[in-house]
Structure 1
Amino acid sequence: MKNTYNLKSMLSAILIIMCCNLFSQTDSTDLTDMSLEDLLDVRVTTASKISQEAKKAPAQIIVITEEQIRVRGYRSLLDVLTDLPDIKVDNKAYGMNYNTFTVRGMQGQEKFIIMLDGMRISGPANETMPIIENYPVNLAKQIEVVYGPASALYGADAVSGVINIITKKTELKTLKAEASAQAGDNGLYNGTLFASSKLSEETILTLSGQYFFDQGVNLPKIFGKEDTLWNMDSHKTGTFNTAYGPMTPSKKVNSKYEAPLMAYNIYAGLITGDFKFTVFRNYSKNSSALENNPNNAVHNKDVFYGRSINAVEAQYSKTSDKITSISSITASDYRTDPLTNYRNVYNNLEGGYKYSYSTKVKIEQQIEWRVNSKLNLVSGALFENFFVMPEGTDLQDPVRDNKVLTGTMAGSASYYRPNGIEATFFSVHYNNSGVYSQLQYTPNKKLAFTLGGRYDYNTRYGSTLNPRVGMVASLSKSTTFKFLSGTSYLAPTPGTAYSYYGSFSTSDSGKTYQSYFMHLPNPNLEPMHVYNAEFSLQQRFLKRFQVQLTGYTTLYTNIIELASDAETTKLYNGKFMGYDVDYIEVYVNVNKQQNTGGSLRMEYSQPLKKGRLDVYGTVSYVDGKVQVTDLDDGGDNREVSEIDFISPFMFKGGTDLILDKFSFSARCIVSGKQRIYTDDEATQKRQTIDGYTVVNASIGYKIGKVSLFVNVSNLLNSHYKNVSYSMNLSDPNTPLFRGNWQDPLRINGGIKITL
Structure 2
Amino acid sequence: MFPKKMLLMLLVSGFLATLGQAAEGDELLEMSLDELLNVEVTTATKKAEKSDSAPATVYVVTADTIAARGYRNLKELLEDIPEIEIQSNAVAEFNNYFSIRGIAGNERFIVLLNGFRFNSPTGSPHVIEHNYPLVNVAQVEIILGPASALYGADAFGGIVNIITRDGEQGKGGVMDVAFGRFATQETALTYGHTFDRLRVSASAFRYESDEAVMPDFYPEEYAWYRNNYQQQGTALISPFIPVEIEIDPSLQNRPYETPNKAEFINLLVGTDQFQLGYSTNSERHSSSTGMRPEFNLFVGEALYRTDLESMFAKYQYKSSNERWFLDSSVWKGTYEIAPESAFLNTFTFYRPGYKYADAQTVKFEEQLTVDMGKRGTLIAGLSYEDVSALPKTGDLPAPFDPDLPADSQDLFYIGTDTTDAAGNDLTVEQAFFPVDYQNLAAYLQVSFSMRDTLDVTLGARFDDSTRYGSTFNPRLGLVKRFSPRLTFKFLYGTAFLAPSPYLALQHYGSFIPVDAEGNAAAGPEDTAGLFGPFWHLPNPDLAPEELTSFETSLAYYANDHWGLFINAYHNNVTDRVVNSGQFGRTFAGIPVGFAEVPINGGESDAYGGTLRLNYLGSLGSLQVNAFAAWSYADGEVDEGPLTYTAENTFRLVAELRAGKLTASPRLLVRGKSRHFLLDENGRNFENEAYEVVNLFARYRSLVKQGRWEIDTYLRVTNLFDERYTNVPLAQFEGFTATPQDPRFFSGGFTVKF
Residue 722 of structure 1, CA deviation: 0.9
Aligned counterpart in structure 2 of residue 127 of structure 1, from 107, 124, 128 = 124
In structure 1, distance between residues paired with 2:102 and 2:290: 22
| 1:324 paired residue number | 325
| 1:343 paired residue number | 344
- Matched residue SS, 1:56: coil
Q: Give deviations 1:414-446, integer Å, cap 9, x for gaps.
A: 144679322111111111111111110112332
Residue 171 of structure 1, CA deviation: 2.4
Q: Give deviations 1:166-211, integer Å, cap 9, x for gaps.
A: 1112427x941111000001111111011111022x2011101110
| 1:13 paired residue number | 6
Q: Give deviations 1:578-618, integer Å, cap 9, x for gaps.
A: 44445443111011111010000111011589883211111
Structure-2 change in CA distance of 1:608 and 1:367 (3 Å): farther
Aligned counterpart in structure 2 of residue 708 of structure 1, from 702, 712, 725 = 712
Residue 21 of structure 1, CA deviation: 6.2
Structure-2 change in CA distance of 1:40 and 1:232 (3 Å): farther
In structure 1, distance between residues paired with 2:156 and 2:544: 11
Report if aligned partners of 1:396, 1:411 keep a CA contact under 8 Å in 2: no
- Matched residue SS, 1:133: coil
- Matched residue SS, 1:426: coil
In structure 1, distance between residues paired with 2:395 and 2:424: 18
| 2:519 paired residue number | none
Count residues with an aligned counterpart: 721
- Matched residue SS, 1:14: helix
| 1:518 paired residue number | 535
Residues 1:208 and 2:203 aligned together: yes
Residue 145 of structure 1, CA deviation: 0.2
Q: What is the letter of the counterpart of residue 734 of structure 2?
A: L
Aligned counterpart in structure 1 of residue 173 of structure 2, from 140, 152, 177 = 177
| 2:83 paired residue number | 86
Residue 682 of structure 1, CA deviation: 6.1
1:133-212 equivalences under 5 Å are 133-171=130-168, 175-200=171-196, 202-212=197-207
Residue 699 of structure 1, CA deviation: 0.7
| 2:751 paired residue number | 753
TM superposition score normalised by structure 1? 0.91
| 2:413 paired residue number | 409
Residue 391 of structure 1, CA deviation: 1.2
* Greater Cα offset, 92-101 or 610-619: 610-619
Report if aligned partners of 1:45, 1:52 keep a CA contact under 8 Å in 2: yes
Report if aligned partners of 2:481, 2:488 keep a CA contact under 8 Å in 1: yes
Structure-2 change in CA distance of 1:609 and 1:208 (3 Å): farther
Q: Pairwise CA RMSD of aligned residues?
A: 2.3
- Matched residue SS, 2:560: coil
Structure-2 change in CA distance of 1:294 and 1:747 (3 Å): same
Report if aligned partners of 2:124, 2:503 keep a CA contact under 8 Å in 1: no
| 1:4 paired residue number | none
Q: What is the letter of the counterpart of residue 389 of structure 2?
A: V
Residues 1:623 and 2:634 aligned together: yes
Q: Give deviations 1:236-274, integer Å, cap 9, x for gaps.
A: 432225542122122512521111111111111110352
Aligned counterpart in structure 2 of residue 691 of structure 1, from 686, 689, 692 = 689
| 1:535 paired residue number | 552
- Matched residue SS, 1:69: helix
In structure 1, distance between residues paired with 2:694 and 2:176: 20
Report if aligned partners of 1:397, 1:408 keep a CA contact under 8 Å in 2: no
- Matched residue SS, 1:162: strand
Residue 16 of structure 1, CA deviation: 2.3
Residues 1:577 and 2:588 aligned together: yes
| 2:500 paired residue number | 493
| 2:518 paired residue number | none
In structure 2, distance between residues paired with 1:228 and 1:534: 47
Residue 398 of structure 1, CA deviation: 0.7
| 2:427 paired residue number | 420
Q: What is the letter of the counterpart of residue 238 of structure 1?
A: G
Residue 227 of structure 1, CA deviation: 6.0
In structure 2, distance between residues paired with 1:230 and 1:370: 65
Q: What is the letter of the counterpart of residue 348 of structure 1?
A: F
The unaligned stretches of length 5 or more in structure 1 are: 1-7, 567-572, 628-639, 728-733
Structure-2 change in CA distance of 1:726 and 1:95 (3 Å): closer
| 1:112 paired residue number | 109
Residue 131 of structure 1, CA deviation: 0.6
Aligned counterpart in structure 2 of residue 594 of structure 1, from 605, 612, 616 = 605
1:393-404 equivalences under 5 Å are 393-404=394-405
- Matched residue SS, 2:265: strand
- Matched residue SS, 1:373: helix
Report if aligned partners of 1:16, 1:654 keep a CA contact under 8 Å in 2: no
Q: What is the letter of the counterpart of residue 464 of structure 2?
A: Y
% identical aligned pairs = 29
- Matched residue SS, 2:8: helix
Residue 740 of structure 1, CA deviation: 1.2
Report if aligned partners of 1:236, 1:255 keep a CA contact under 8 Å in 2: no
Report if aligned partners of 2:349, 2:510 keep a CA contact under 8 Å in 1: no
Residues 1:555 and 2:572 aligned together: yes
| 1:731 paired residue number | none
Residue 687 of structure 1, CA deviation: 2.5
- Matched residue SS, 1:183: strand
* Greater Cα offset, 388-397 or 593-602: 388-397
Q: What is the letter of the counterpart of residue 591 of structure 1?
A: G
In structure 1, distance between residues paired with 2:533 and 2:721: 45
1:431-510 equivalences under 5 Å are 431-507=438-514, 509=524
- Matched residue SS, 2:373: coil
TM superposition score normalised by structure 2? 0.92
In structure 2, distance between residues paired with 1:232 and 1:351: 23
Aligned counterpart in structure 2 of residue 55 of structure 1, from 52, 57, 73 = 52
| 2:245 paired residue number | 247
In structure 1, distance between residues paired with 2:393 and 2:211: 30
Structure-2 change in CA distance of 1:574 and 1:739 (3 Å): closer
Structure-2 change in CA distance of 1:232 and 1:92 (3 Å): farther
Report if aligned partners of 2:222, 2:293 keep a CA contact under 8 Å in 1: no
Q: Give deviations 1:257-303, integer Å, cap 9, x for gaps.
A: 11111111111111035221110101101111123222221101221
| 1:371 paired residue number | 372
Report if aligned partners of 2:326, 2:366 keep a CA contact under 8 Å in 1: yes
Report if aligned partners of 1:251, 1:350 keep a CA contact under 8 Å in 2: no
Residue 500 of structure 1, CA deviation: 1.2
- Matched residue SS, 2:472: strand
Residue 467 of structure 1, CA deviation: 0.3
Report if aligned partners of 2:331, 2:362 keep a CA contact under 8 Å in 1: yes
Structure-2 change in CA distance of 1:382 and 1:519 (3 Å): same
Q: What is the letter of the counterpart of residue 602 of structure 1?
A: L
Q: What is the letter of the counterpart of residue 662 of structure 1?
A: L
Residue 72 of structure 1, CA deviation: 1.1
Report if aligned partners of 1:338, 1:398 keep a CA contact under 8 Å in 2: yes
In structure 2, distance between residues paired with 1:229 and 1:472: 57
1:38-77 equivalences under 5 Å are 38-77=35-74
| 2:737 paired residue number | 739
Q: What is the letter of the counterpart of residue 210 of structure 2?
A: Q
